[in-house]
Amino acid sequence: MCIVIFFLSILQKENHSYQDNDNNIEHKVVLHHPGEKMPVKALLTQVKDKTGFTTGYFMDVESVICLENVCKIIPVRLYWNEIGEYQRYTLEQGATLEKYEADVFATEDYKKLHTILQNKNSPFKEVYIEDILTVKNEIADNVDAISGATALELDPEDTVPGAALTCFTLWHWANGEITPIIKQLTATTATNKQLIVFINTKSTTHYTLALEQLTQRNLYQKKYLEAIFKTLKSKKSPTKPTINYLETATEKDYLKYIKKLFYQGNVEQKIAALKSIAKTDSPTTPLYLDRISSYANTLQSYQEVVALLNMLEDKKHFSEQTANNLIPLLNADFLTARRVYWFLSNKKLTNTQNQKVIMFKNLYKNKI
Amino acid sequence: MERRDFFKKGTKAAVAASVIPMITTAHAGPKDIIYNRDTDKWYNLGSGKTGIPNRKKTADYDVVVIGGGAAGISAAVSSARNGSKTVLVQDRPVLGGNASSEMRVHLNGVNRLNSGKAERETGIIEEMLLLNRFDNEQEAFPVFDHVLYEYVVREPNLTLMLNTQAIEAVMSGSKIKSALCWQATTEMLYTLNAPIFIDCSGDGLLAATAGAEYRTGREAASEFNESYAPKIADGWQMGATLLMSSKDMGRPMKYTAPSFAIKYDFERAHPKRKFAGFQDGIWWIELGSDDDIIAGFEENRHRLMGYLHGVWDFIKNSGKFPEAENLALDWVGSLPCRRESRRFMGDYIVSEKDLTEHKHYPDAIAYGGWPIDEHVPGGIDSISKQPTYFHHHFDDIYEFPFRSLYSKNISNLMFAGRNASQTHIALSSSRIMATCALQGQAVGTAAAICIKKNVTPKEVGKKHINELQEQLLRDDVYIPKRPANDPNDLAKKVNLIFASTTSSGDVKLLTNGISRDIDGQINHWMSKGLPAELQLEWDTPIMVSAVELKCDTNVKRNIMMRKDSRNDKLYANGVPKEMVKAVRIQGRVNGTWKDLGTIELNKTRLIKFQFLSTKVTAIKITITETYGAKDVKLFEVRCYA
């Protein structure tokens, strides 16, 4: 019973009419399929709900690449969610998929095809169509002197036996170039408000798409930045798009928010923020860098301290205040203390500061 | 040719030498040898002289390796790299053995386990195959010959002798004193003296003339409790194959079989004698022997040439292969590719159950995983039988012990490859070239230990096996269930190791002694993007002069050269995109980073930096580029004083 329900859910034999609502947008797309020599033109339909949110996409493709014009081609409708992840497929009423020698798909084969299309890392990702078309030699892979067998040998779990070409064809339609196209369509057609929803409530993919869009649209208002920093506290956000976004803000906003990222971010984000400051052309005042260094004693790991000191060295910044901020770290774990010692040892220090550095040197003269 | 013919004082020398300590040897010299060309009537018009040409030479080495196939090259290179003055003696004009352009067998290894993936051999065999990826992208077998030639001749401590056959061992008791070698191209008789000899020649003529115990044929099932062996022992040895290749000429090509062709009997042929990939040769054109396969080689060679043309005649002219209409033979083998002849006896004989039950050895030094693939007795003469029996396919790799790689009765003789100490059934799996190469690296490395410590191979097995295994592991051999634990590796004593980014694995795994992901365990660190940095920190300064890395080359994908240039999830014909291309090493000296080495175009999995001994508190490794992967994956970091 369970199998029957599942089967029906992935293989809805329908007239596709329910998707034809007013909110749908059709996009002409050109796709490269590894089994086709020439690019293929197709019509991708973007499905939106009543509020204007993209809820998914669908596209009609051919079930199999037919090189000899002897195989039966069945139209297949593929469905994706709004970030280009394959969801399901449907066939027209009464249509069936075929295997080699006119054998038809059994119920289990339809189910397995769905599983194969769901697997982003299916073996079909890496094989060539020539391997599939070569006649299978059952002992080809197992002889030390063989010279030319090219038969594709797939685990039966990874393919529908007798329909490898159909699996290959549909897998690349479902998981190929269409995915980044869908992501871009969803992102570029989203309203500014929807981008905030992406940041707040969705996956890291949504977060990344939203920040790329904010960057492209040059949106740095408080509401966006607040949404980003609110997310920082609630879940692990990808660091790279955050840094990329902040680095394209105005100098003032960049310096303000990269510092905030350093204060509030996790270890990875703190280190990334310090590396960003180290290479930025935005003018960093001594006061700004002193403030950054004042957080030295809150850092939890050696790597963060190294990133901080590397940044100060890159910026050629040193001040009495910075020294004061760093001196307490001479009492931190030895590796951290030694790194701080090296930073301070060639600087012009006050007498009090100098005494502490000399004390450290004398204490650990065999280890530095 | 009788051995005594070559010596004036053979008996005396043997008696005298028998009381000399094991390694030290009384070397034979040119004066000992009767090979005088005093009847030679050479009148040299250039010099105007008449005289006896010099056709005798003597040379002393630490290690003599016989056989220039995958096993012999691996043995010679590892011996030389580990400090022994080594000579590699090869009887053919090219290196590569069965994988040379003379024979053209794919250099297979653990190509595919039941998991569907390869578990590729690393170490020297990996270096050779990677070099081939760089220098022979076109996958031409004659170019592969030269890739191997380059690989061997660039080793500073290694001498290569081509066209040279070791024909006789000169003995001193149970010890080989010298190898008499005949170099066909120069008419030169060489006497090669050495304390250690390694026979990787397959047929093992040197070892046989030394009196090393060996067997041929199939063991009875009862002897080793083998389920795939015959009930009663017999003399059958698997056949040698003669290969060919053809070319699409773009127009119909005629073919007329030569007079010596043997008609292919298709009606009687077993259906498993398949023709898939026939354009690149057919492996079941093979003939073996149930008696003296070596003595019968030339007869078999002639008949194989006949069979080859008979099969091709069938393909071209039977009408069953319309796809062959435009094909013409563009290469035909004249030298059959040998699978089996002598198997020399060591202190241990590997047998079927050791493989199928995954026996664990304290002296494991190599592994295999090719199926137990026993070719049919009779070869193509048994036309109505299937050409091979795949008795067993492996889920995991099996171990191979060092005790099967030295002679039980000749004290300074080791062997590697198809002539190792094993049963016929075990050979049906372990004969594969990359497996033989791992054995070769083991005996080459062991030879260097013999020389350094003045001990026999047997003593290495008993007293220095840990040192042998550690050196192999350091040199990038993988030994199952045997993590490296080198007390000299300073990276193991590091106080902190960290990476700039991590996308999978853990940087701490780089010192766990396991340099591949295996047995369901991750043993790597992978960056998130490039460039990526690793930093090792010691709280007390250390002296360091070498840093060694093991990078990813995707050992789950095959990189051997194939005629069909397969390029899919299991076979790749390019440089692995995962491999490190550019890397820099820095050391922190008195608080300041100092450059210790840079590699811009790395071509190996094991990446070695050597520099003047430097006192550092930290090492920084910066990887700036791979051959295509966006992240870099490493498996090991080592540092040495």
Q: Are A91 and A166 in contact (CB under 8 A)?
A: no
**Considering only alpha carbons, which residue of chain B is nearest residue A147?**
B280
Chain B residues 540-569 with CB within 8 Å of chain A: 540-541, 562-564, 566-569
pLDDT band at B413 (very low <50, low <70, confident <90, very high): very high
Instruction: Verify that B324 and B418 share a domain, yes or no.
Output: no
**Average pLDDT of the residues in A165-178:** 92
Instruction: Verify that B438 and B541 share a domain, yes or no.
Output: no
- CATH code of B529's domain: 2.60.120.260
pLDDT tens digits along B102-118: 999 999 999 988 877 89
Instruction: Verify that B564 and B603 share a domain, yes or no.
Output: yes
Closest CA–CA distance from residue B563 to any residue of chain A (Å): 6
Cβ separation A303–B282 shorter than 8 A:
no
Q: How far apart are CA B415 and CA B349, in angstroms?
A: 13
Assembly ipTM: 0.77
**Considering only alpha carbons, which residue of chain B is nearest residue A134?**
B276
Question: Within a domain: residue B503?
Answer: yes
Q: How far apart are CA B144 and CA B96, in angstroms?
A: 8
Cβ separation B566–A150 shorter than 8 A:
yes
Instruction: Verify that B350 and B446 share a domain, yes or no.
Output: yes
User: Which residues in chain A are closer than 8 Å to B496, comparing Cβ atoms?
Assistant: 302, 335
Instruction: Verify that B460 and B572 share a domain, yes or no.
Output: no
pLDDT tens digits along B112-160: 888 778 999 999 999 999 999 999 988 999 999 999 999 999 999 999 9
**Considering only alpha carbons, which residue of chain A is nearest residue B564?**
A148
pLDDT band at A94 (very low <50, low <70, confident <90, very high): confident
Interface test with B, best of A126, A127, A143 (most B CBs within 10 A): A143
* Chain A contact for B617 (CB, 8 A cutoff): yes
Cβ separation A127–B495 shorter than 8 A:
no
Which of B245, B286, B390 has its CB closest to that of A147? B245
Interface test with A, best of B564, B593, B616 (most A CBs within 10 A): B564
Instruction: Verify that B511 and B628 share a domain, yes or no.
Output: yes
Cβ separation A150–B564 shorter than 8 A:
yes
Cβ separation B283–A147 shorter than 8 A:
yes
Question: Within a domain: residue B54?
Answer: no
Chain B residues 491-510 with CB within 8 Å of chain A: 495-496, 498, 500-501
**Average pLDDT of the residues in B212-221:** 98
| Region of poorest pLDDT, from A122-131, A196-205, B230-239, B435-444 | A122-131
User: Which residues in chain A are closer than 8 Å to B566, comparing Cβ atoms?
Assistant: 131, 150
Structure tokens at B5: 């013919």
What is the domain range of residue B529? 490-640
* Chain A contact for B539 (CB, 8 A cutoff): yes
User: Which residues in chain A are closer than 8 Å to B535, comparing Cβ atoms?
Assistant: 306
pLDDT at site A71: 66
**Considering only alpha carbons, which residue of chain A is nearest residue B495?**
A335
Within 8 A by CB and 6+ apart from B605, the residues are B122, B126, B127, B130, B476, B550, B551, B552, B553, B579
Shortest CA distance to B405 belongs to which of B244, B625, B196, B156? B196
Domain count, chain B: 3
Cβ separation B568–A146 shorter than 8 A:
no
Instruction: Give the residue numbers in A contacting B (CB under 8 Å), as ranges.
Output: 123, 125-128, 131, 134-155, 240, 268, 271, 302-303, 306, 334-335, 338, 341-342, 345, 366-368
Within 8 A by CB and 6+ apart from B502, the residues are B525, B526, B527, B528
Cβ separation A148–B569 shorter than 8 A:
no
Share of chain B above pLDDT 70, in %: 94
pLDDT tens digits along B460-502: 999 999 999 999 999 999 999 999 999 999 999 999 999 999 9
* Chain A contact for B370 (CB, 8 A cutoff): yes
pLDDT band at A123 (very low <50, low <70, confident <90, very high): confident
Please determine, for residue B257, whether its predicted confidence score (pLDDT) is greater than 90: yes
Q: Print burial letters for B39-66: b (CB count within 10 Å at least 16), e (below 16).
A: eeeeeeeeeeeeeeeeebebbbbbbbbb
User: Which residues in chain A are closer than 8 Å to B370, comparing Cβ atoms?
Assistant: 144
Instruction: Verify that B456 and B511 share a domain, yes or no.
Output: no
Cβ separation B373–A128 shorter than 8 A:
no
Instruction: Verify that B366 and B223 share a domain, yes or no.
Output: yes
Instruction: Verify that B322 and B379 share a domain, yes or no.
Output: no
* Three-class DSSP labels, B111-178: CCCCCCCCCCCCCHHHHHHHHHHHHCCCCCHHHHHHHHHHHHHCCCCEEEECCEEEEEEEEECCEEEE
Question: Within a domain: residue B601?
Answer: yes
Strand B86-89 to strand B158-161: parallel, antiparallel, or no bridges (unpaired)? parallel
Within 8 A by CB and 6+ apart from A253, the residues are A220, A225, A246
pLDDT at site A202: 64
Q: Of all helices (H) and strands (E), which one includes residue B85?
A: none
Question: Within a domain: residue B87?
Answer: no
Domain ranges in chain A are: 2-180, 190-283, 284-368
Question: Within a domain: residue B8?
Answer: no
Which of B277, B339, B373 has its CB closest to that of A147? B277
User: Which residues in chain B are closer than 8 Å to A335, comparing Cβ atoms?
Assistant: 495-496, 537, 539
Q: Which of B450, B474, B498 is the last residue of a domain?
A: B474
